Amino acid sequence: MNDPLGLTPPFPPGFVWGVATSAYQIEGAARVDGRGPSIWDTFCRVPGAIADGCSGDVACDHYHRWATDLDLVKSLGVEAYRFSIAWPRVRPDGHGAFNAAGMDFYDKLVDGLLARGVTPYITLNHWDLPQALQDEGGWGARDTVHRFVEYARHVHARLGDRVRSITTHNEPWVMAVLGHQNGIFAPGLKHRPLAMQVSHHLLLSHGLALQALRADGAKAELGIVLNLAPFHPATDAPADHDKARLEDGLLRRWYLDPIYHAKYPEDVLAELGPDAPLVQRGDMADIAQPIDFLGVNYYSRSVVSAAEPWDAQAAGHETTAMGWEIYPQGLTELLVALGRDYPVPALIVTENGGAFADELSHGRVHDADRARYLATHVAAVSDAIAQGAPVHGYMVWSLLDNFEWASGYDKRFGIVHVDYATQRRTLKDSALWYRDFLARQRQR
Ligand code: GBH
């Protein structure tokens, strides 16, 4: 396809292009080399929890195919690969001995990336809490905060000298709200006060981990990844505007105000009332650590109406296979607003991409819709930079088709197709577009 970016200014020098994955979604090998069960292993066995009834037991078998998968990463010409460490591989029972075999896998992965000239960006928690910790209250229990800090220090001691970037948590809102309030993600609970307590413990563990890693002499850039979306009122009615402001409070300000102002937003606390979390003295100061970067996962905007339910699809917008509206200008708006509202030193788009109805035929996947999605969102990032947003990188979600959580394997986000029966990988047209786009970037 032609280059909609031909007329955009070149990206700043040092801008980092990448692809992203997460452990449970690709690794498989669920019972290999001493890995313990995570809350997702458990949740996948709850009847009806996963659309196709499958689990991450095998997934993309990346645990065994990592070397050829890294060759694919290199072939794209990206600078960075963002992946997550499976906590239940590193410390299978949550608080006992660390499992050397589990850590060895990530050691090989990091060295394998460096050998291929690709920079590792690691995430410590992409949702796969050890089940043993869930059995003791999970993220609702304050002890889990300290177990996370121990795990973070252990991973940092092994890999910290070779990774450029360490993310504490991927999308705390998703873990807290989808996992403990809506119950659609592991651990499948439905209790708002618990969800808010979980969000507080995630933030606290983030802040304490940053302090611990810095005390340990961290050289890597340290930060957190949030799922964010601009909220647009469906109409001009004041009730819709108020709702949009509150939703932004729950998704964005709830996580960034503590980090930057050491307090939760007043309007959100007022709305939560008795559902607000218990905060101990000193917690807010512990959370308010400087971050080196904020990771932004962007998929769509959110149109908000006080009159539920509002259906964006019914409003006639083009959507991906997830039913999420395709709205690239929302990424510009979001990044510009973040740069204006908070003194973030660096924003990195840590995930962006779409699920589409791909068809593999004669060794090709003509996913022009995905390539267009990526190209228009990359252009939106360029617009944000032109408007002053400090964006330092962009990563495609995802390298591979993979286990899309409650949606199972039916929803494909990869720029590389995976045939699960044979584990054969095929570069989709979107991957070829990204590779060629990156090659052109380097020539400018
Ligand atoms: C990310 O989460 C995850 O980090 C990643 O593991 C996952 O595979 C990827 O995205 C794709 O899903 O229901 O229309 O209101 C995404 C988090 C939160 C994004 C909920 C969409 C609601 C859209 N998602 N959000 S809608």
Q: Looking at the predicted structure, is the pLDDT value of residue 312 above 70?
A: no
pLDDT band at 3 (very low <50, low <70, confident <90, very high): low
CATH of 16-443, one of 3.30.465.10, 3.10.28.10, 3.20.20.80, 3.40.50.720: 3.20.20.80
CA of 229 to the centre of ligand 1 (A): 11
Q: Average per-residue pLDDT in the chain?
A: 96
pLDDT band at 10 (very low <50, low <70, confident <90, very high): confident
Is 298 close to ligand 1, i.e. is its CB under 6 Å away?
no
Is 413 close to ligand 1, i.e. is its CB under 6 Å away?
yes
Q: Are 16 and 392 in contact (CB under 8 A)?
A: yes
pLDDT at 37: 98
In our burial notation (b when 16+ CB lie closer than 10 A, e otherwise), range 376-391 reads bbbbbbbbbbeeebbb
Residues in Cβ contact with 59 at an 8 Å cutoff, skipping those fewer than 6 apart = 24, 25, 26, 27, 28, 402, 403
pLDDT mean over 15-33 = 99
pLDDT mean over 149-161 = 98
pLDDT band at 234 (very low <50, low <70, confident <90, very high): very high
Instruction: Determine which residue's CA is closest to atom 18 belonging to ligand 1.
Output: 174
Is 144 close to ligand 1, i.e. is its CB under 6 Å away?
no
Instruction: Determine which residue's CA is closest to atom 12 belonging to ligand 1.
Output: 404
Q: Are 78 and 19 in contact (CB under 8 A)?
A: yes
Calpha distance 78→434 (Å, rounded): 9
pLDDT mean over 233-239 = 96
pLDDT mean over 20-49 = 98
The predicted complex's ipTM stands at 0.94
Per this entry, what is the length of the chain? 444
pLDDT at 9: 74
Is 324 close to ligand 1, i.e. is its CB under 6 Å away?
yes
Is 127 close to ligand 1, i.e. is its CB under 6 Å away?
no
CA of 100 to the centre of ligand 1 (A): 32
Calpha distance 151→132 (Å, rounded): 14
Amino acid at 102: G
Phi, psi of 125 (to 5 degrees): -130, 100
Residue ranges covered by each domain of the chain: 16-443
Q: What is the pLDDT of residues 199-220, one digit of tens each?
A: 999 999 999 999 999 999 999 9
Q: Which atom of ligand 1 is nearest to the CA of 324?
A: 14
Which residues are catalytically annotated?
171, 351
Is 167 close to ligand 1, i.e. is its CB under 6 Å away?
no
Q: What is the pLDDT of residues 337-347, one digit of tens each?
A: 999 999 999 99
Question: For strand 424-427 and strand 80-84, is the pairing parallel, antiparallel, or unpaired?
Answer: unpaired
Is 40 close to ligand 1, i.e. is its CB under 6 Å away?
no
Residue showing tokens 């796969």: 128
pLDDT at 268: 99
CA of 46 to the centre of ligand 1 (A): 21
Is 250 close to ligand 1, i.e. is its CB under 6 Å away?
no
pLDDT at 2: 45
Which mutation among 27, 351, 411 tests ligand 1's pocket best, with the greatest number of atoms within 8 A of CB?
351
pLDDT at 443: 87
Which mutation among 171, 326, 370 tests ligand 1's pocket best, with the greatest number of atoms within 8 A of CB?
171
Q: Which atom of ligand 1 is nearest to the CA of 397?
A: 9
Calpha distance 287→194 (Å, rounded): 19
Helical packing angle, 62-76 and 429-443, nearest 10°: 40
Bridge partners of residue 2, in order along the sequence: none
